Amino acid sequence: MNVIMTHEQADMDALASQLGAWLLFPDVIPLLPRSINRNGRRFLEQYGADLPYVAHKDLPREPVETLFLVDTQSLITIKGMSKETRIVVYDHHPQREDLNPEWECHLVSYGANTSQMVARIREQGIALTHIQATTLALGIYEDTGSFTYGSTTAEDLLAAGYCLSQGADLDIVNRFLYPPLTPGQRNLYERLLRDLHTFLVEDQTIMVAKANALDVKDEISSVAHKMRDVFNPDALLLLVATRQGIRLVARSTSDRVNVAAIAEAMGGGGHTRAASALVRPEGSADKTQLLRFLDEQYSSMIAGLDQHVKPVVSVESIMSKDPLILSPDTPVQEAHRLMQRYGYEGYPVVEEGQVVGLLNRREVDRAISHGLDLRVKSLMAAGDVKITPDASLETLQTLMAKTDWGQIPVVAPDSGEIIGIVTRTDLLKTLSPVLDVPTQEEVAQRLVRVVPPARLALLRALAVEADKVNLPIFVVGGFVRDLLLDHLSLDFDIVVEGDAIFFANRLAHRLGGRVLTHHRFGTAKWIIEEVVGELSAFLGISDQAELSNLPRSLDLITARTEFYEQPAALPTVESSSIKMDLHRRDFTINTLALRLDGEHFGKIHDYWGGLTDLRKGRIRVLHALSFVDDATRLLRAVRFEQRFGFQIEPRTLALMEESLPLLKRLSGARIRHEIALILAEPYAPKMLSRLDELGILYAIHPALPWDDDIQTQLHQLNHLEIEPFWELSDEYDSLTLRQMLGFLVWLGRLPESSLRSIASRLRWRSDFEKLMVATSKIVHDLPGLVGAPPSQVVLELENYPRTALFAAQLITPDEDVRRLVQQFVTQWALVTPTLSGDDLRGMGLRPSPVFGHILASLRAAWLDGSVRTAEEEQALLQKLLDDAATDGRNS
CB atoms within 10 A of CB 743: 24
Model pLDDT for residues 244-260, shown as the tens digit of each residue = 899 999 988 777 788 88
Strand partners, 621: 587
Cα end-to-end span (Å), the chain: 108
Those residues whose C-beta lies under 8 Å from the C-beta of residue 822, and which sit 6 or more positions away, are 809
Residue type, 78: I
Q: Same domain, yes or no, for 253 and 333?
A: no
* Domain count across the chain: 7
Residue type, 363: E
Strand partners, 105: 89
Residue 302 sits in a domain whose CATH number is 3.10.310.30
Which domain-ending residue is among 600, 615, 630? Answer: 615
Residues 486, 582 contacting (CB under 8 angstroms)? no
- How far is 14 from 17, CA to CA, in rounded Å? 5
Q: Same domain, yes or no, for 149 and 60?
A: yes
- How far is 74 from 10, CA to CA, in rounded Å? 13
Angle between helices 113-124 and 130-143 (to 10 degrees): 140
CA 506 remoteness from chain centre = 20
Q: What is the DSSP string of 400-446?
A: HHHH--SEEEEE-TTT--EEEEEEHHHHHHHHS--PPPPPHHHHHHH
Residue 751 sits in a domain whose CATH number is 1.20.58.1960
CA 154 remoteness from chain centre = 14
Q: Same domain, yes or no, for 293 and 227?
A: yes
Strand partners, 558: 496
Backbone angles phi and psi of 106, in degrees to 5? -125, 90
Residues 556, 502 contacting (CB under 8 angstroms)? no
Q: Which residues of 356-384 are buried (b: 16+ CB within 10 A; e: fewer)?
A: bbbbbbebbeebeeeeeebbbbebbbeee
CA 556 remoteness from chain centre = 12
Residue 470 φ/ψ region, left for φ over 0, alpha for ψ in the -120 to 50 degree band, beta for the rest: left
CB atoms within 10 A of CB 779: 22
Model pLDDT for residues 18-68, shown as the tens digit of each residue = 999 999 999 999 999 988 877 888 899 889 988 999 998 888 889 999 999
Q: Same domain, yes or no, for 446 and 582?
A: yes
CA 7 remoteness from chain centre = 37
Strand partners, 417: none
Enumerate the H helices of 485-609 as residue ranges.
Answer: 500-511, 532-539, 578-583
pLDDT recorded at residue 626:
85
CB atoms within 10 A of CB 552: 10
- How far is 143 from 276, CA to CA, in rounded Å? 13
User: Where are the strands (E) in 470-586, listed by range?
Assistant: 473-476, 494-496, 514-518, 523-527, 553-558, 560-563, 572-575
Which domain-ending residue is among 131, 158, 177? Answer: 177
- How far is 881 from 877, CA to CA, in rounded Å? 6
Q: pLDDT under 70 in the chain at which residues?
A: 150, 178-179, 229-230, 312, 340-344, 431-436, 561-576, 730-733, 884-885, 887-891
Q: Same domain, yes or no, for 634 and 604?
A: no
The CA-based angle 11-16-17, given to 5 degrees, is: 100
- What value does the CA radius of gyration of the chain take, rounded to a whole number of Å? 37
Q: Same domain, yes or no, for 211 and 297?
A: yes
Sheet holding 29-30, edge to edge: 29-30, 2-5, 66-70, 86-91, 104-107
- How far is 165 from 152, CA to CA, in rounded Å? 20
Those residues whose C-beta lies under 8 Å from the C-beta of residue 419, and which sit 6 or more positions away, are 321, 322, 389, 410, 411, 412
Three-class DSSP category at 292: helix
User: Which contiguous run of DSSP H or E holds residue 840?
Assistant: helix 837-842
Q: What is the DSSP string of 719-773?
A: G----GGG---SEETTEEHHHHHHHHHHHTTS-HHHHHHHHHHHT--HHHHHHHH
Q: Same domain, yes or no, for 644 and 654?
A: yes
User: Which contiguous run of DSSP H or E holds residue 238?
Assistant: strand 235-242
Those residues whose C-beta lies under 8 Å from the C-beta of residue 59, and which sit 6 or more positions away, are 3, 29, 31, 78, 79, 80
Those residues whose C-beta lies under 8 Å from the C-beta of residue 413, and which sit 6 or more positions away, are 388, 389, 390
Q: Same domain, yes or no, for 558 and 411?
A: no
Q: Same domain, yes or no, for 609 and 621?
A: no
Residues 239, 304 contacting (CB under 8 angstroms)? no
pLDDT recorded at residue 271:
76
Residue 655 sits in a domain whose CATH number is 1.10.110.30
Strand partners, 245: 242
Residue 121 sits in a domain whose CATH number is 3.90.1640.10
Backbone angles phi and psi of 281, in degrees to 5? -70, 155
User: Which contiguous run of DSSP H or E holds residue 37?
Assistant: none
Q: Same domain, yes or no, for 304 and 350?
A: no
Q: Same domain, yes or no, for 461 and 575?
A: yes
CA 684 remoteness from chain centre = 26
SS3 annotation, 329-361: CCEHHHHHHHHHHHCCCEEEEEECCEEEEEEEH
Q: Look at the alpha carbons of 314, 317, 318, 322 in this order and tell me if their dihedral is positive or negative.
A: positive
Q: Same domain, yes or no, for 588 and 570?
A: yes
Residue 405 sits in a domain whose CATH number is 3.10.580.10
The CA-based angle 184-186-192, given to 5 degrees, is: 105
Residues 278, 246 contacting (CB under 8 angstroms)? yes
- How far is 341 from 201, CA to CA, in rounded Å? 43
**Closest alpha carbon to 205 in 234, 239, 237:** 234
Which domain-ending residue is among 118, 146, 177? Answer: 177
Range of the domain at 633: 617-700
Residues 38, 182 contacting (CB under 8 angstroms)? yes
SS3 content of the chain, % helix, strand, coil (to 5): 50, 15, 35
Those residues whose C-beta lies under 8 Å from the C-beta of residue 308, and which sit 6 or more positions away, are 257, 258, 259, 261, 262, 265
Label residue 274 exposed, middle or buried (CB < 10 Å: 0-12, 13-18, 19+): buried
Strand partners, 378: none
pLDDT recorded at residue 502:
94
Residue 512 sits in a domain whose CATH number is 3.30.460.10
